[in-house]
Amino acid sequence: MSGVETYLAEHYEEALEDLKAFCRIPSVSTDPAFNEGILAAAEFMANRLKKAGFASVEVLDTGGHPAVYGQVISDAALPTILVYGHYDVQPPDPLDKWASPPFDPSIREDRLYARGVSDDKGPLLIPILVVEAYLNNEGRLPVNLKILIEGEEESGSEHFEPTLERNRGRLACDLVISADGAMWRPDRPSMTVASRGMVAIDVTVTGASKDLHSGRHGGSAPNPIRALCKLLASFHDAEARVAVPGFMDGIKSLDPTILTAIDVADFDAGAYYREIGTPKPDPIENGSQLLVRQWLEPTLEFNGIFGGYQGPGTKTVIPSSASVKITCRLVAGQKPSKVIEAITRHLETNLPAGYGLQIEPHGPGSEAFSVDPNLPGLLAAESVLAELLGSYPLRVAMGATIPIGTAFRKYLGAEVIFFSFSTSDEDYHAPNEFFRLSNFRTGLVAWARLLGRLADHPKLEPTIII
């Protein structure tokens, strides 16, 4: 065991107290009632960075909740790693479902229960403690290390990209390691190497200029709900795949590494459907098919639909409009602009006579994200996990979209790997969020080894990073 690892083991009780103190701060970002908690958490982070030995520690004004920045520059010749994490947490509701209070951390069976402990306070504290261990034990780090801690991750990260853009110089780095993210399953190590992109579109079909009486006008007046449903029914084939012409254009063949991971994973589709509380739908035959759908195929989901009367009883109305809110998840090769075009064309082509149509995309959308399979940082991280966890990590994808993946690439020219020690079953958006303390301990050793192994990480051309 290295000196740093010995130091971390000897100071574990203090580390646990630090984590509990961090978790006592109610830093809910989406609810203004918790603003004091947000500011206290930012202050706590800044102080904890200083105590660990970080220099240039600063609470950054973002225009929203502040971000926290710190750095340890050892040697200009060494590669520079930027660590990302967030100090804000999800709301704790519903409070009555918690076995112990959400902001009063409680240990049961080697798990620490608290709001935010898994997402992302525990995983974020790990690299800070590792830097402290290096500095106290060896007086220096094996790499230059910067850290950027966000306060709006759980509420949409509205000011994150502008903050990156404004701080390009200060944040310049050769690799980003996100302490946010999660291992896919508790029973085997994994690295998330791909996520789907997204476009969002609102669609409204209009009929008469005002609501009409459905008795008097029924049969002669256009009914926008009927027209909208006909349109939406044409969006998917019988297998529930997107059937909009042009939508699939450009899609690359499925990543064989991830297909292998899916095969190895032996995912239990039955357990999945039991968990979400629904019978298995027809097109999904087994767990492998399910994961291919979730990770590697694009979707077009109706997130909301509305029009006409929604109250109790009956109102005999033919509404003047009906609307749907759509988001699509995109896979490698799909261009958001082309997807928006395909959907728009499909709607315009199939709209029956007698109706109007409004199509409103929310922003330009984002492409799918994937890590270069040969990225040295990825290979280093995998080797550490294999060494510590006994089996080589699966390279997995995720169905959701990871905005930071494309954001760091866009503003800093740097690639991102996800090196988090939370697990996706730790209820991080639900009551009784917990963090496995075994993973806390493993994470400390893993980050210590990873930083050591990144000392010879290639440095980016400076022209890219400013």
The residues in 263-292 that bind a second copy, with binding defined as CB under 8 A, are 272-273, 276-282, 284, 290
Pair 459, 79: CB distance under 8 Å: yes
Q: 402: which residues sit within 8 A by CB, 6+ positions away?
A: 181, 192, 195, 369, 418
**The binder of a second copy chosen from 220, 253, 374, 463 (CB under 8 A):** 220
**The binder of a second copy chosen from 47, 303, 337, 358 (CB under 8 A):** 303
Separation of alpha carbons 136 and 119, rounded Å: 27
Separation of alpha carbons 445 and 454, rounded Å: 14
**The binder of a second copy chosen from 32, 256, 313, 390 (CB under 8 A):** 313
**DSSP code, position 119:** I
Rg of the chain's alpha carbons, rounded to an integer? 25
182 binds a second copy (CB under 8 A): no
Separation of alpha carbons 199 and 194, rounded Å: 17
**The binder of a second copy chosen from 54, 103, 355, 434 (CB under 8 A):** 355
Residue placing its CB nearer to a second copy in the complex, 32 or 279: 279
362 binds a second copy (CB under 8 A): yes
232 binds a second copy (CB under 8 A): yes
Minimum CB distance to a second copy, residue 248 (Å) = 14
Minimum CB distance to a second copy, residue 460 (Å) = 30
**The binder of a second copy chosen from 29, 192, 294, 422 (CB under 8 A):** 294
228 binds a second copy (CB under 8 A): yes
6 binds a second copy (CB under 8 A): no
316 binds a second copy (CB under 8 A): yes
Per-residue binder mask for a second copy (CB under 8 A), 119-158, x = binder? ----------------------------------------
428 binds a second copy (CB under 8 A): no
308 binds a second copy (CB under 8 A): yes
Pair 247, 298: CB distance under 8 Å: yes
205 binds a second copy (CB under 8 A): no
Residue placing its CB nearer to a second copy in the complex, 164 or 203: 203
Q: CB pairs under 8 A, 24+ apart, for 52-59?
A: 52/128, 52/129, 52/131, 52/132, 52/135, 53/131, 53/132, 53/135, 53/136, 54/128, 54/131, 54/147
User: Which residues inside 372-411 make contact with a second copy, applying CB under 8 A?
Assistant: 398-401
Amino acid at 81: I
Pair 154, 65: CB distance under 8 Å: no
